[in-house]
Structure 1
Amino acid sequence: MYRKLNDFFKDWKREEEATQKILDALTDESLSQQVTDEHRTLGRLAWHLVTTLDEMVGHTGLQFSAAKFGNPVPDTAEEIAEAYRFSNQSMITAMKENWTDETLEEEHNMYGEMWSVATLLQVLITHQVHHRGQMTVLMRQAGLKVPGVYGPAKEEWAAMGAQPPEI
């Protein structure tokens, strides 16, 4: 759990960069990729990550410009990636201007439970990690090159002249 905002900002910087890499690798054609008709498309998952910044952090009362939860999924991958870039920067700026380390201890109703802001921020990170994992599977199914996030992806191993790990 976070006790200092700067600790969150350090972790978030790595995670938002990883999410942005995944979003930037999407193509318009890949947005409709899904496992089955009963599951979210790649575009819907990507948009969910974008709008969750507004939805989750909005429960704290923090005001910032962001793509709104419930807005329809854009038609292009570029719009989704740019919306994340904009929403994320707006969120971080608002946090830095309005929150202190003490804000982390404040509690807010989140989905029928009381969560501290510190808890919310940890969940925000794990939520992104969770859905990025789902997205990378759909990206492979759509024939996209998946960028490495916590280390090289298969194609990046080859580009480095190294043998990828065994399958």
Structure 2
Amino acid sequence: MFTKTSDFLTEWKQETAITQRLLDALTDDSLNQEVAPGYRTLGQLAWHIAWSLSYLKDLGLNVSKPAGEEAAPESAAFIASEYCRLSAELLQAVESEWPDEVLGQTVNLFGQDWHLGRTLRFVIQHEVHHRGQLTILMRQAGLSVPGVYGPTRDEWIEKGQKPLL
């Protein structure tokens, strides 16, 4: 739970930079990769990450929806650019619209009470959760996976070093 807007903003900048690196590594050909038949594709998952940022509009933040429909687009570059725009928009909205005292408030949404400081924590956790799924699908699609909280096997090899087991 966040009690200070500045704490959220610092963490949001760090986490969105990681997500952006993953989205920037996607290719149009990789977007149809699915972990198993009937599950979300890589493109659907990436688009969900971008799209979900607009849900904070329902909690009173001045954020917009991604351009296009809720169905995943066929362009990896478009998904990455929309995520970049929306994550920056969310950062600006929280910074300008939710001072520290607002984070202690609760908003009723869909018949449930959403504590705003906890909601910001949930937004980050939701994104981190789906990033984990992204990395698996990226590997299955044959993409080189950028490091998230440390170097990946691919990055060790690129540096001419033996990957850790």
| Structure 2 partner of 1:6 | 6
Structure-2 residue corresponding to 1:163? 162
Question: How does the TM-score come out when normalised to structure 2?
Answer: 0.94
Q: Which residue of 2 aligns with 1:67?
A: 66
Equivalent runs, 1:5-154 vs 2, <5 Å: 5-55=5-55, 57-67=56-66, 71-154=70-153
1:66–1:83 contact (8 Å) kept in structure 2: no
Structure-2 change in CA distance of 1:162 and 1:110 (3 Å): farther
Gaps of 5+ in 2: none
Report the 3-state secondary structure (helix = DSSP H, G, I; strand = E; otherwise coil) of the residue aligned with 1:59. Answer: helix
Give 1:35 deviation, angstroms.
Answer: 1.6
Q: Percent identity?
A: 44
2:45 and 2:130 in contact (8 A); partners too: yes
Deviation at 1:70, TM superposition (A): 5.7
Q: 1:126 to 1:68 in 2, by over 3 A?
A: farther
Cα deviation 1:22-72 (Å, max 9, x = unaligned): 1000000000000222210000000000010001x1221111233179622
**Counterpart secondary structure, 2:130:** helix
Distance 2:148 2:119 in 1: 23
AA in 2 matched with 1:59: D
User: Compared with structure 1, are the counterparts of its residues 125 and 47 closer, same or farther at alpha carbon in structure 2 (3 Å cutoff)?
Assistant: same
User: CA 1:26–1:126 in structure 2 vs 1: closer, same or farther (change >3 Å)?
Assistant: same
Count of aligned residue pairs for this structure pair = 165
